[in-house]
Structure 1
Amino acid sequence: MLWHILTVLSLAPFLVYSLDPAFNDDVMGLIVFKAGLTDPKSKLASWTEDDPTPCNWVGINCYPQSNRVSEILLDNFSLSGHIGRSLLRLQFLKVLSLSHNNFTGNINPILSQIPSLRVIDLSHNTLSGSIPDEFLQQCTSLQSVSFANNNLTGQIPQSLTSCSTLQRVNFSSNHLSGSLPSALWSLTSLQSLDVSDNLLEGEIPKAIEGLYSLRSINLHKNKFAGWLPENIGNCVQLMSIDLSDNLLTGGLPQSMRRLGFCTNLELRSNLFNGEIPDWIAEMKSLKVLDLSANNLSGRIPTSMGDLSLLKELNLSNNYFVGSLPRSLMKCSNLVILDIGNNFLTGNLPSWTFELGVERISLSGNRFTGHINYPSISIGASYRSLQVLDLSSNELSGEIPAAIWNISGLQVLNISRNFLSGAIPEAVGKLNATRILDLSHNQLNGSIPNEIGSAVSLLELKLRENHLSGTIPADIANCSSLSSLDLSHNNLTGPIPPEIAKLTILEVVDFSFNQFSGSLPKELTNLSHLATFNVSHNHLKGELPVGGFFNTISPSSVVGNPSLCGSVLNHSCPAVHPKPLVLNPNSSDPNHASVTSLGHKRIMLSISSLIAIGAAVFIALGVVVVSILNLHVRSTMALSAATFTLSGGDDFSHSHGTEANLGKLVMFSGDADFVVGTQALLNKDNELGRGGFGAVYKTELGDGRSVAIKKLNITSLIKSQEDFEREMKSLGSIRHENLVALEGYYWTPSLQLLINEYVSGGSLYKLLHDGSSERSLSWQQRFNIILDTAKGLAYLHQLNIIHYNMKSTNVLIDDGSTSTKIGDFGLARLLPILDRYILSSKIQSALGYMAPEFACQTVKITEKCDVYGFGIMILEVVTGKRPVEYMEDDVIVLCDMVRGALEEGRIEECIDGRLQGNFPVEEAIPVVKLGLICASQVPSNRPDMEEVIKILELIRCPSESQEEID
């Protein structure tokens, strides 16, 4: 309030002397607005209260006739502060554009009261809070609103119906959640809707079919699921559709053939299935068609060649078969062609080079034959080619010399084929190429010296070929190199010191070659090194000292027996012999040796003393440990013997008996143990061990089997009151997919949990135990995933985080074939939920633990369970452990599957025991769901209720469609 008063007082002379009161409102409103801003670049220096009109101020436009302010255009002014109510004085303001600044706080709903306001753009700021409901309730003439790229949360208000004049809405790149409000579909004037990059979910409502004026819709990067509305083609004026990066399924609705004005159709990264219909050619205005990363199959229709305006075609990462239709040659405007990671066959279509495109990717298919482009050097259409990716096919023969004549080529990737022959000297003509990948072929000969002429190279990958000879010193001319991979070849000679001139190198891999000599000391000058691997060569001498080499991993230099240095725990031999020191006071020539012998005797005595002392210390330790073990065993036996057997049927009045040392409580059923209390913890009855203790099987008097978990007492609750409170809470939980807690036993030194016994054993054992005779079918695996999701979702409804979600804690019931989650809630027994204590408790969960466990500043939520569940999905589908240790490598399942998906090899990851007996249309979406759940960013992971819905959609897409209809 004081600030407002001071501002008004500063304007007092102007208020007195101005001739036109109407101008007072505009000037005063803007000056007060400026007073609340921080203007670091003095962009608003021309705004002074001495001017009778603001029409000449920077960023201000006025109506010519009345000189009243019509537009405030302050985009990219680096302004910060809050947007106050002083702008209400500008009664004729039509456009308010404050984008790309640093405004903070909430959106001021008072702005909607400016009666003439048509356009408001507050995008690219740091506004927070929700979109005010009253803002939209009061808008009467607003036509365009953009709050994009802020930090807004909450849902999109239903009050949008009040803005009947709205034509353009952009709420993209925020954190908005919930579903699209039904109010949107009553905005009959709406032409553009962009809510991309948010957390919106649900289905796309059928009501969209009534927006006949809609020209652009962007729902990219949300969590929308279900099928596309069948009559979306009623929006006949649609020109741009972007629904990519969602969970949409089903096929393309036939009504889309009526979208004759549509220029952009982007549906990538969804779960769409079926074939591309022939009628796609009726969308004749298409310039961009992106159907990549879906589950589409069948042949690519020849009718697609009728899309004469097409500039970008991306059908990668699907399941298309057959050959690439030659009719695409008619698409004379094509700039980008990406058909990678499918199952296309036949000879490599040479006519693709005649299209004159800038980017071609045919990678990850099954093309065969040679690369035959005899006229490539003279055809003008090839000059525009910038990216050529033919990797991961079955191509053979030599690399044609004509390829090296493509002067504008920036990326050439022909790796993972069966190409042979030598790398020609013409490689030096690629002076614009940034990435050259010839790895995983059968190339021979040497690396030509002319490689140094490819001065723009950022990455050079020649690994896994049959190359020989030395590394040419001219490679130092490739000063932009950041990655150099020559591994798995037959290269010889020393590593040239000229490598040190490549000052921005980050990755160097020379492993598995025949290099000899010592490592150049100059390599320590490579300050950007992240990886340097020279393992399995014939290098010798001392490792360089300094820089990256002070912390180099031993695995990066292993396999070089003559290398030495502290990293290898192999000290280098001294360069000079040790000096011989004689006693100058002695004339006896044998004195030196006698003195030396005396020293040896002294040293021997000291060593003997140390050895004797150590032996005594160890002996004492053994005695102490033995005594402690005897004490613990006697305590355990005494504790077990104190069981007083009773039972009860009513949880709220559970029976228990107090003894001097123990208390047994059963929530239901009989507490009479057939084997007797002394045999409860018999080693022969042990089922397994986990982070919180060992588990034993026994029987009750009524014939039921139970599993007894003996908790580790370290770091667990010592208070009986706290322990019993947690037990009663866990004992009240009943769900068909959760292991029931039947009772518990308490002493200060021994705590037992009495759980329901699940006969089929753990999921881990079924998947990985070679002795198991059971081989899970796809149907069983899917049911396990779905049942586990239901159990975990129920826990999350109760605000219980499992913390230890892994396949050993998922149990399979032989009798009912149901799946049950065990060991939930045990982390609550820790006195303080310290993540480091917790990590030590569940260290066996390597591979399942969400990355946020490693960061103290990140809150642990239910999303860490979702991560473990995602890894479990991948484990169930692939049959592989989350982390597998090979002889020379460590394979992380999540990384392996994600890489296979990107390379179009995902079917190779499916468990071989299924032998192809699985529905691809289910398996691939389930894998994708697992990867989404195992996202590194917690906010990108769905919650378990969403997971259940997605799984049900994957299994029954037709039923889901019927529900939608």
Structure 2
Amino acid sequence: MHALHCPNAQPPLQHLFTMPLTSLLTFLSIFTLFTCSLSSPLPQSTFLSLMKQSLIGPAMSRWDLSSPTINPCNLTGIRCDIDFNLISINISSWSLSGTFPLGVCTAYPNLQTLDLSINDLHGGFPHDILNCSSLQYLNLSYTGLTGSVPHLSPLCSIRSLDLSNNLFTGDFPLSITNLTSLEVVNFNENPGFNIWHLPKSFMQLINIKVLILSTTCLRGEILPWLGNMTSLTDLELSGNFLIGTIPETLGRLPNLRLLELYYNNLTGEIPQELGNLTTLTDIDLSENHLTGRIPENLCALPNLRVLQLYTNHLTGPIPAILGNSTKLSMLSLYKNSLTGSLPENLGRYSDLVVFEVSENQLSGPLPPYVCENGKLLYILVLSNQLTGNIPSSYDACTSLLRIRVSNNQLNGPIPEGIFGLPHVSIMDMSFNQLEGTMSKSIGNARNLTSLYMSDNQLSGELPAEISRLTALVKIDLSNNQFTGPIPSEMGNLRLLNQLSLQNNRFNSSIPESLSSLKSLNVLNISNNELTGEIPDGLCSLLPNSLDFSHNNLTGPVPLPLIKEGLLESVAGNPNLCVAFRLNLTDPVLPLCPKPNLRRRLNNLWIISVCVLASILGALFFLKHWFKKPDLLMEQEGLSSTSSFSYDVTSFHKLSFDQHEIVEALIDKNIVGHGGSGTVYKIELSNGELVAVKKLWTRKTKDRVDPASPGSPGLDRELKTEVETLGSIRHKNIVKLYCCYSSNDSNLLVYEYMPNGNLWDALHNGWCFLDWPTRHRIALGIAQGLAYLHHDLLFPIVHRDIKSSNVLLDADFEPKVADFGIAKVLQARREHELSTTTIAGTYGYLAPEYAYSSKATTKCDVYSFGVVLMELVTGKKPIEPEFGDSRDIVHWISTKICTKEGTLEVLDRRLSWSPYKEEMIQALRVAIRCTCSLPGLRPTMNEVVQLLIEAEPCKSDGNGNGASSFKLKELTNKRV
């Protein structure tokens, strides 16, 4: 029997005699209750009362224990046998928080089932359970338990043990091998265990059917003796550090239905013997280093439903016999070196849902029957050597969500119906030899968010019906032969972020309506035959990427393009001109002839302002140069000999000079301090506001903080931030105007964000953000990160995404900031995109930092998922209510498996909101982003698509959004 351990010792005996009588009686009653609970069976209702007191949550109101004659067997979650002995307690998914009380086994010696899963239990493994000698079913999954797992041998009757998705640490409990009655063992997702090896003693589990040891730090080889555990139906060892080959003996498991070995370091060929597993339904060997061919007999298995072998080094053809399958629903073979033709009959006889063979060397035609049974969601065959036409049968694939056939050698016209598929969100047919016109039926593709048709031979006019696709975010029709006008109706595409129409034959004027596309970040209409003037309104889209070059445009170049130094964006238009020149360094363009009176007055006014500003600036400079006391200069951290000796690196046309910035570095303008310097808010003489980050150099840092001499990281931080931000042009990345460098300090001058940072907005209560605003912020952050990860020549990992590094402009549009520890990844493959320096902020760090110091783009995805959880819940990443060693990710994981629990995590300040379904959709995205396995997290491009699909305007306002996902799918491995 376990002793009762209390952190506060009971009073010494002599103190009992000095206690007040009431205190003494209270103490004795409590002492008697707990002593009896450990020495003799508790009355059943007494223990249930203890449970109700210890586990807090609204669901406990289901238990009315007020009547002394209450029959516990009638309570929700309680089950008794025919003799009224309590044999089962099941409070799974009750959203409870607290500690499971002592005494369950003494109160209920016949207890057979204890299910506490999907609650928030505090502390470690409840040791008192070890006294339950009759216990057969124990489920503590998704409870957030910490610490080590004790010796489990006392549970001699246990048949099913589920401790998955917790935070256990220490040694793996090999004592389970003594529990010979075990049929189900599930330790999935406990990445804190010490490295361990699978011992041969597991063979003692002769009754084992389900063995799930995924993500438990298992290392070593898969030893052949596993083939002797012939009762196995489910073997899952994924997400570990397994090496060596897959043993042939696994082919001896006659009852095996599910085999998952993905995310390991396995080598060698797939054993032919796996083709003997006639009961096998699912096999996933993805993300390993397997070589050789796909065994034909494996593809001929009669019950095979899921075949996933992606990201290996497999060669040879996909066995044609796979086309005869009547059960196959998911085929995922991307990122291998497979050759030959695709099975012609693929999907003809089965309900195919996923068809994913991208990034191989496959040739021949596309299989015509993949949509035959109307269930297909994904056609992903990009980056192969496929030829021939797109089958006409594909225009009947009305269930499709994505079709991506880019980077192949397909030719002929695109079947008309494909353009109008009602559920497709991504249509990618770029880099082929497709021809013909774009059908007007595209107006029916109302869920389309990305349309990629670049580098083909498409011709004809762009149909105006494209303007009906109000969910569109990206359009790339570049390098085709489109003619006619750019439809003015495209101004209705308010979510559009990218419009690339370059290298076509469009021959209209530029529609003024494009100026209303406030989300547009890239507008490239170069190398066409466009005429007329550049609409002034388009300049409101700056600082985004605009390219009007090599057309037949006429008239004056808008002044903002000149001021921003973007004259190269209008090159190759011989009939363009400038109304006046700002300076002699501007590229030579002719002055516009004979301006009308209004334009002449405007020019005169602008020139007058420039002259007046120059005079005032000179006077201001002279005044302060001669009159500013040296003492005041020293108080500002400057010296009279170095105050204006800054080296300047500018990235935009500047409307200020260094003198105006330096003179404003005074105490009253300070708005914040950081570990590397001070931030100032400065109002320029022209009325504009800028933010200046003053970074200490080594010399200054030594003077200010002698305890931290010569921090070399500061120079690297400055260089990183300047190099990173200087070349970036995106509306959701903070704009760096210039950098001033001197011996004393370095100044970074940014655009000023009047609404501060997202952390303060969410957690410090100075403003209220409704859900549409929060969604817009989340989408903007995601678009900025997607730009960094996917739209640059070399991806950039930010490495410190958090809500305090997201700034908000006057319209609460987000800007990602603070790139001091960012890393440019000059590599091609995702697994190579890593750094070796641990960086970031606790609460936002991806869990792989527990066993690896590498930071990849998927680390940014995880951090973004935490920020998204902040937006949905209103909670900080770390809150006292989460418990010790808990964070928001774990807290949410204990709540989301019931509708009630899911609604409970939503920000209570939005309890009145009609957008609850859209908030839950965003929560689903956040959960995917924070998956513990990096490979299962989406890319930021995918996150953008998912958030667009969760756009608040797509709801009817009553919480009836477009999502059809079920809550249980939040924790599924595949989405």
Q: TM-score range by the shorter chain?
A: 0.5 to 0.7
Amino acid at match of 2:237: L
**Matching residue of 1:891:** 793
Q: Does 1:364 align with 2:383?
A: yes
Offset, 1:286: 0.7
Partners of 2:615 and 2:84 lie apart in 1 by 107
The amino acid of 1:61's aligned partner reads R
Within 5 Å, which residues of 2 pair with 1:413-452? 413-452=428-467
Secondary structure of the corresponding residue to residue 266 of structure 2:
strand
Shift in Å, 1:388: 2.4
Query: Relative to structure 1, is the Cα distance of residues 944 and 448 closer, same or farther in structure 2, using a 3 angstrom cutoff?
Result: closer
CA distance in 2, matches of 1:333, 1:11: 64
> 1:12, CA displacement in angstroms?
10
Structure 1 residues 832 and 946 mapped into 2: Cα distance closer, same or farther (>3 Å)? closer
C-alpha distance 11-940 of structure 1, shift in aligned 2 (>3 A): closer
CA 1:350–1:612 in 2, change beyond 3 Å: closer, same or farther?
A: same
SS in 1 for 2:207: coil
Q: Tell me how far 1:191 sits from its aligned partner.
A: 1.0
| 2:87 is the alignment partner of 1:70 | yes
Say whether the 8 Å CA contact 1:471–1:496 is kept in structure 2: no
C-alpha contact 1:387 1:409 (8 A) present in aligned 2:
yes
Q: Deviation string for 1:540-565 (max 9, x for gaps)?
A: 54659xxxxxxx99889965896999
Q: Which residue of 2 aligns with 1:493?
A: 509
Question: Following TM superposition, by how much is the alpha carbon of 1:273 offset from its aligned partner in structure 2, in angstroms?
Answer: 0.5
**CA 1:261–1:512: 2 relative to 1, 3 Å:** same
Q: Is the 8 A contact 1:170 1:194 kept in 2?
A: yes
What is the CA distance between 1:107 and its match in structure 2?
A: 1.0
Distance 2:614 2:204 in 1: 98
Bigger-Rg structure (1/2): 1
Equivalent residue, structure 2, for 1:801 = none
Give the structure 1 partner of residue 832 of structure 2. 930
2:170 alignment partner in structure 1 = 154
User: AA paired with 2:52?
Assistant: K
Q: Report matched runs for 1:347-496 at 5 Å.
A: 347-352=365-370, 354=372, 356=374, 358=376, 359-373=378-392, 382-404=397-419, 406-455=421-470, 457=472, 459-475=474-490, 481=495, 483-489=497-503, 493-496=509-512
CA distance in 2, matches of 1:522, 1:365: 40
Contact persistence 2:146–2:169 (CA under 8 A): yes
The structural deviation recorded for 1:426 is 2.2
Which residue is equivalent to 1:836?
A: 714
After TM superposition, give the deviation of residue 600 of structure 1 in Å.
Answer: 12
SS in 1 for 2:74: coil
Check whether the contact 1:543–1:565 (CA below 8 A) recurs between aligned residues. no
Alignment CA distance shift 1:87-1:364 (3 Å): same
Report the secondary structure of 1:153's partner residue. Answer: strand
2: CA distance between counterparts of 1:540 and 1:4? 91
Shift of 1:837: 6.1
Match of 1:517 in 2: 534
**Mapped partners of 2:854, 2:471: distance in 1:** 47
State the AA in 1 paired with 2:502.
H
SS of the counterpart of 2:297?
Answer: helix
Letter in 2 for 1:891: L
- SS of the residue corresponding to residue 255 of structure 1 reads helix
- Of residues 79, 94, 118, the one that matches 2:96 is 79
- Within the candidate set 153, 164, 170, 2:186 is matched to 170
Residues 1:206 and 2:224 aligned together: yes
**What code does the residue aligned with 2:102 have?**
R
Distance 1:940 1:573 in 2: 64
| Structure 1 segment 767-782 matched on structure 2, within 5 A | none
- 1:145 corresponds in structure 2 to 161
Find the partner of 2:235 among 197, 213, 217.
217
Per-residue deviation, residues 852-908 of structure 1 (Å, max 9, x unmatched): xxxxx9xxxxxxxxxxxxxxxxxxxxxxxxxxxxxxx9632688xxxxxxxxxxxxx
> Aligned equivalents of 1:844 and 1:341: distance in 2?
36
Deviations 1:77-105 (CA, angstroms, capped at 9, x unpaired): 22111122132222222221122222221
Cα RMSD for the two superposed structures = 5.5
Q: Is 1:338 matched with 2:356?
A: yes
Q: Which residue is equivalent to 1:305?
A: 323
Tell me if the contact between 2:92 and 2:115 (Cα under 8 Å) persists in the aligned partners: yes
The residue type paired with residue 417 of structure 1 is N
How far did 1:317 drift?
Answer: 1.3
Q: 1:260 to 1:497 in 2, by over 3 A?
A: same
- Evaluate the alpha carbon distance shift between residue 833 and residue 404 of structure 1 in structure 2; reply closer, same or farther with a 3 A threshold: closer
Structure 1 unmatched runs, 5+: 545-551, 582-596, 626-711, 719-828, 848-856, 858-888, 896-924, 948-965
Distance 2:251 2:607 in 1: 97
Q: 1:445 deviation in Å?
A: 3.7
Distance across 1 between alignment mates of 2:605 and 2:796? 55
CA offset at residue 231 of structure 1?
A: 0.9
DSSP 3-state at the match of 2:430: coil
Compared CA separation, residues 7 and 414, structure 1 to 2 (3 A): farther
Structural mapping, 1:517-556, within 5 Å: 517-520=534-537, 532-536=544-548, 540-541=557-558
Q: Given the two structures, how large is their TM-score scaled by the length of structure 2?
A: 0.56
C-alpha spacing 1:477/1:521, structure 2 compared with 1 (3 Å): closer
Distance in 2, matches of 1:8 and 1:452, equals: 79
- Is residue 392–residue 415 contact of structure 1 (8 Å, CA) maintained in 2? yes
Distance 1:556 1:387 in 2: 39
Query: In the aligned structure 1, how far is the partner of 2:520 from the partner of 2:59?
Result: 38
2:420·2:443 contact (CA, 8 Å) conserved in 1?
Answer: no
Inter-partner Cα distance in structure 2 for 1:207 and 1:484: 56
Deviations 1:10-40 (A, max 9, x none): 9999x99xxxx99952211111122122224
- Counterpart of 2:87, as a letter, is S
Give the CA deviation at 1:205: 2.6
- Letter in structure 2 aligned against 1:486: S
- Normalising by structure 1, we get a TM-score of 0.56
| SS state at 2:314 partner | strand
Find the residue that maps to 1:125 and give its secondary structure: coil
Asked whether the 8 Å contact 1:314–1:337 carries over to 2, the reply is: yes
Q: Equivalent pairs: percent with the same residue?
A: 24
Matched, 1:122 2:140: yes
In 2: Cα distance, 1:421 partner to 1:66 partner = 78
Task: Give the Cα separation in 2 of the matches to 1:124 and 1:273.
Answer: 37
- Partners of 1:605 and 1:94 lie apart in 2 by 90
* Residue among 323, 338, 346 paired with 1:328: 346
Paired AA for residue 300 in structure 1: I
Q: How does 1:255-334 map to 2 (within 5 A)?
A: 255-328=273-346, 331-334=349-352
Q: Secondary structure at the match of 1:303?
A: helix
Give the aligned partner of residue 879 of structure 2. Answer: none
Does the 8 Å contact 2:260/2:283 carry over to 1? yes
Amino acid at match of 1:263: T
Shift of 1:263: 0.2
Total equivalences in the alignment? 639
For residue 50 of structure 1, what is the aligned residue in structure 2? Answer: 68
CA distance in 2, matches of 1:353, 1:44: 49
Q: Give the gaps of 5 or more residues in structure 2.
A: 1-5, 11-22, 572-576, 587-598, 646-696, 726-758, 760-790, 798-826, 840-844, 856-975
Give, in whole Å, the separation in 2 of the partners of 1:565 and 1:114.
Answer: 88
1:681-733 residue CA offsets vs partner (Å, 9 max, x unmatched): xxxxxxxxxxxxxxxxxxxxxxxxxxxxxxx9979999xxxxxxxxxxxxxxx
Which aligned pairs between 1:708-747 and structure 2 lie closer than 5 A? none
Find the partner of 1:253 among 271, 275, 292.
271
Verify the 8 A CA contact 1:188 1:211 in the aligned structure 2: yes
Q: Report which stretch shifted further, 269-278 or 345-354.
A: 345-354
The Cα of 1:160 is off from its aligned counterpart by 1.3
